[in-house]
Amino acid sequence: MTSGITKRWILNILSVIFIIVIFIVFCLSYTISTYYTRSVEQSISIRCNELEKIFTDVTTDTTTDFLSTAQKYIEDFPHKELMELQSLNSVGRTILTSTGFFPDEKEKMPDLEQALAAKEGYAITESELSTGENIMAGTKVIRSQEGTVLGAIRYVVSMEDIHTSNILYTLIFSLMGGTVLIAVYISGRFLLRSIVGPIKEMSQTARIIAEGDFETPDLTKKYDDEIGDLSDSINYMAHELKQTEQLKNDFISRVSHELRTPLTAIKGWSETMLLTGDDIDRQTFQKGMNVILKESGRLTSIVEELLDFSRIQSGRMKLITEKTDLVAELDEAVYMMKERSIKEQKHLMFDTPIEPFPPVLGDKNRLRQVFLNILDNALKYTSEGGNVIVQILNQDNLIVVHISDTGCGIAPEDLPKVKDKFYKANQNVGGSGIGLAVADEIVQMHGGTLEITSGIGVGTTVTIKIPVYNEAEIVEMEEINKGEING
Ligand code: ADP
């Protein structure tokens, strides 16, 4: 069965080519046929003009003069095999013919009357004899000097050969046209098969992928062209979807695990306290309550991170911006992490600059959240005794924050992907794998950048750059926005 594209190709292209070929065949046949007919007509016309001179050169004042000149002319005529010559009297009766055969007198040819009426003195007509033969006849009227009609000379050419060759040419042209059409059809079918086949295969594969099977699809690249590129893209898409699916599944199990750990601690301590009842001593009670508080805090931050991630994914994350002192926010974040670093026996160092820093336009809480996230990672991936060094600099209208650690580092092949959602380079340490993705998005929303450099066993440096608050630029931007809204 012809598929959609093939049907469209036949309708849109092949039918147009068919019409063009028919038109060309018709034009060629018509031109050839007209050319031959005109040649005969021209040749008769030359002969008729020639007669004028022949009959004026000799004295032809009487019918007898005309008859003798006509007889001589017919006898001496060199092209008798190409055309028949007839001599007619003044009333149109054939008196002499070059073939010796006389036409049927009932056969009325319109040429004599037309020649009598014509200014040139001759007329050329095409007609069909009673035998069915097609002829072209040219009749030239011969007049005396006073203008009396003495008779006429008629040239008769059979058009049968010309008609036969016209038919032959038409057949040849039609055959050539047909060959062109067949060639176009065959090459078109081959081309279509090379397009339709892979497209069908690809649509089948796309359906398999849509049904969630990312393993089966493996399209073979048959052609090194756009179709080949498309099958490569589909393979790549299946591969990426497979990885994302894997990452998503890992993420769900990781997050479930992350949620279960604090929940187990909360549940355990709650049960202990409930079972012990009033017999619980103050110290154990406080210890239990601290664990419950700490673990609920952990749960809250996991849920907050998930909510932020979902807000970013759906584009609902909004910043509440104001002039912000980045040094103060960084200082606050370092302060919040200080106790933990001491507990984990890691050196967290930050020399708060004395000189004032220009403000940035930012969301205080979000920026602090970014610093906390990076610091959390730095501490998480650095072992006991390691260092986490925080620096802030004012460089060319940018506030630059470096958070470096002497931790495990990130492998070069993982480095480009760590900012991707769900991606975890280190599976041994807990974490959802979305922290850096959220931090990167927040920094970008502030018009800044977050870059990571790292080396295995050397450590990691995260560099955050946020543009300095520029009143003139902000006023200009607000005016542009206002203009756009009013416009
Ligand atoms: P996670 O919750 O797993 O820490 P992140 O998005 O914050 O998720 O980080 C993604 C991955 O980047 C981590 O799993 C880890 O492998 C790597 N990573 C991030 N920060 C550091 C760091 N300071 N040192 C080593 N590896 C890091």
* pLDDT tens digits, one per residue of 58-73: 666 788 888 888 888 8
- Tell me the one-letter amino acid at 157: V
Closest of 210, 30, 53, 38 to residue 124, by C-alpha: 38
pLDDT of 2: 60
3-state secondary structure of 61: coil
For residue 385, what pLDDT band results from cuts at 50, 70 and 90?
very high
Computed over every residue of the chain, the mean pLDDT equals 88
* Separation of CA 235 and ligand 1 centre (Å): 29
Task: Specify which of 58-67, 176-185, 237-246 reaches the highest per-range mean pLDDT.
Answer: 176-185
pTM of the entire predicted model: 0.58
List, in sequence order, every beta strand (DSSP E) within 204-325.
322-324
* Separation of CA 158 and ligand 1 centre (Å): 101
Q: Is 404 in the pocket of ligand 1 (CB under 6 A)?
A: no
Contact at 8 Å (CB) between 307 and 285? no
**Residue listed under structure tokens 């089966």:** 216
Closest of 437, 433, 419, 446 to residue 329, by C-alpha: 446
Q: Is 378 in the pocket of ligand 1 (CB under 6 A)?
A: yes
* Separation of CA 432 and ligand 1 centre (Å): 9
For residue 89, what pLDDT band results from cuts at 50, 70 and 90?
confident
For residue 487, what pLDDT band results from cuts at 50, 70 and 90?
very low
Closest of 419, 460, 422 to residue 436, by C-alpha: 419
β-pairing, 347-350 vs 387-395, is parallel
For residue 418, what pLDDT band results from cuts at 50, 70 and 90?
very high
* Separation of CA 306 and ligand 1 centre (Å): 16
Question: What's the CA gap between 391 and 409, in Å, rounded?
Answer: 19
* Separation of CA 447 and ligand 1 centre (Å): 23
Burial label for 325, CB within 10 Å (0-12, 13-18, 19+), is middle
Q: How many other β-carbons are positioned within 10 Å of the β-carbon of residue 357?
A: 16
β-pairing, 459-467 vs 94-97, is unpaired
Both tokens of residue 335? 């302060």
pLDDT of 240: 87
* pLDDT tens digits, one per residue of 207-228: 988 888 887 777 887 778 888 8
Query: Could you tell me the sign of the dihedral formed by the alpha carbons of 122, 124, 125, 131, in that order?
Result: positive
Both tokens of residue 103? 């036409």
* Separation of CA 255 and ligand 1 centre (Å): 15
Closest of 410, 417, 405 to residue 463, by C-alpha: 405
Q: Is 408 in the pocket of ligand 1 (CB under 6 A)?
A: yes
Closest of 122, 32, 129, 44 to residue 83, by C-alpha: 44
On the CB side of 49, CA atoms within 13 Å amount to 6
Q: How many other β-carbons are positioned within 10 Å of the β-carbon of residue 91?
A: 8
* pLDDT tens digits, one per residue of 129-141: 878 888 999 999 9
Cα angle: 423, vertex 424, 428; to 5 degrees: 160
- Name the closest-CA residue to atom 23, ligand 1: 378
3-state secondary structure of 456: coil
Q: Is 177 in the pocket of ligand 1 (CB under 6 A)?
A: no
Whether residue 23 is predicted with pLDDT greater than 90 in this model: the reply is yes
Closest of 364, 282, 358 to residue 320, by C-alpha: 364
- Name the closest-CA residue to atom 7, ligand 1: 435
Host H or E run for residue 180: helix 160-210
* pLDDT tens digits, one per residue of 105-115: 666 566 788 88
Q: Is 403 in the pocket of ligand 1 (CB under 6 A)?
A: no
Best of 372, 377, 463 to mutate for ligand 1, by most ligand atoms within 8 A of CB? 377
Question: What's the CA gap between 81 and 96, in Å, rounded?
Answer: 16
Question: What's the CA gap between 257 and 275, in Å, rounded?
Answer: 26
Question: What's the CA gap between 405 and 398, in Å, rounded?
Answer: 22
Length of the chain: 487
pLDDT of 59: 65
3-state secondary structure of 455: strand
* Separation of CA 370 and ligand 1 centre (Å): 13
Host H or E run for residue 136: strand 134-143
pLDDT of 246: 86
Q: Is 435 in the pocket of ligand 1 (CB under 6 A)?
A: yes
Q: Is 386 in the pocket of ligand 1 (CB under 6 A)?
A: no
